[in-house]
Structure 1
Amino acid sequence: MDFKNKIEELLSGFLAERPDLFLIDLKISAGDDITVILDGDNGVSLQDCLDASRAIEFNMDREEHDFSLQVMSAGLSEPLSSPRQFRKNIGRELDILMNDSTKIEGELAKVDEDKITLILRYRKPKEIGKGKVDVEEEKEIPYSEIKKALVAIKF
């Protein structure tokens, strides 16, 4: 079994024991630097990262194959990539960059396997008279149209 397949197998075994965690990304560089990014339905703790690291490291022989290993949680700067990740962020504001380079900001309301639904809030001019009115509308966005989605950080 080659090195990458062995790492994937060990990681899959660990995640099978921890159904609350899921893999966001696994990168193995040409110099055998392994980076594992995890997320969880209830977040990822330091202990979760340590457990994943041990599941890999304790089952590999460094004498046979030298490597470095980093296991981390998906931070706020990581784009959302799976329906499961979107689902855990329902109720939060998202900044979305569409494939056509338009930007949309809204509150994540619903998630299914094909699309998300955002609540967009904005002001628009009144149809009659002066002034503006507050508008709230739902917009469905298929995953295929999303280039990048980030949780908006508000202070």
Structure 2
Amino acid sequence: MGIEKRVTELVEEKIADRPDLFLVDVKMHSNGKLIIHMDGDQGITIQDCAAISRHVGYHLEEENAIENAYNLEVSSPGIDTPLKLLRQYQKNIGRSITLKMADGSKREGTLLAASEKEMKLAETIKEKGKKAIQVETVVPLDQIIETKVLISFK
């Protein structure tokens, strides 16, 4: 079994009683860094990350699952990390997002809704000589290469 698959099982086991938490990603890098990205519907605490780290680390040691030295890192995805899961989209409804589209264009707006196949975006459209207007657009997820939450420092 691949190490990423085993780590995924260990994380799922640890958070089985925490329906508010979810696994975003597990990556074992060639430099020995094992990174687990977690999130929660209301965010995730340092204590949650530490508990997951202890659980995963303990079992990997017990099973001698990784032969070489490794560094285990459990955190939430950084704010600049693209959204991957529907649950992340749903958690960010109401926030401003930026999209990189498959055709190379970029779009920006407020995330209004998200499903398995598409999202609804409120975009501000400004035509020359006219007032800016808000337009609701449905965007198929398969046309999006990357979605990031925009950070506002206002």
Query: Identity percentage over the alignment?
Result: 34
- Match for residue 91 of structure 2? 88
Please give the alpha-carbon distance, in whole angstroms, between the structure 1 residues aligned to 2:63 and 2:35: 20
- Match for residue 150 of structure 2? 152
- Match for residue 33 of structure 1? 33
Structure number with higher strand proportion: 1
> Which ranges of structure 1 fall in alignment gaps of 5 or more residues?
126-130
Aligned pair partner of 1:124 in 124, 127, 147: 127
Residues 134/31 of structure 1: CA separation in 2 closer, same or farther (3 Å cut): closer
Aligned-partner SS, 1:81: coil
- Match for residue 111 of structure 1? 114
Please give the alpha-carbon distance, in whole angstroms, between the structure 1 residues aligned to 2:55 and 2:61: 13
Please give the alpha-carbon distance, in whole angstroms, between the structure 2 residues aligned to 1:135 and 1:3: 50
Q: 1:31: Cα distance to partner?
A: 4.8
Residues 63/112 of structure 1: CA separation in 2 closer, same or farther (3 Å cut): closer
- Match for residue 68 of structure 1? 71
Residues 4/78 of structure 1: CA separation in 2 closer, same or farther (3 Å cut): closer
2:4·2:27 contact (CA, 8 Å) conserved in 1?
no
Residues 154/4 of structure 1: CA separation in 2 closer, same or farther (3 Å cut): closer
Aligned-partner SS, 2:53: helix
Q: 1:15: Cα distance to partner?
A: 2.7
Aligned residues: 150
> Which ranges of structure 2 fall in alignment gaps of 5 or more residues?
none
Please give the alpha-carbon distance, in whole angstroms, between the structure 2 residues aligned to 1:140 and 1:117: 5
TM-score w.r.t. length of structure 2: 0.87
Higher alpha-carbon deviation: 78-87 or 17-26: 17-26
| Per-residue deviation, residues 102-121 of structure 1 (Å, max 9, x unmatched) | 00000011111211000011
TM-score w.r.t. length of structure 1: 0.87
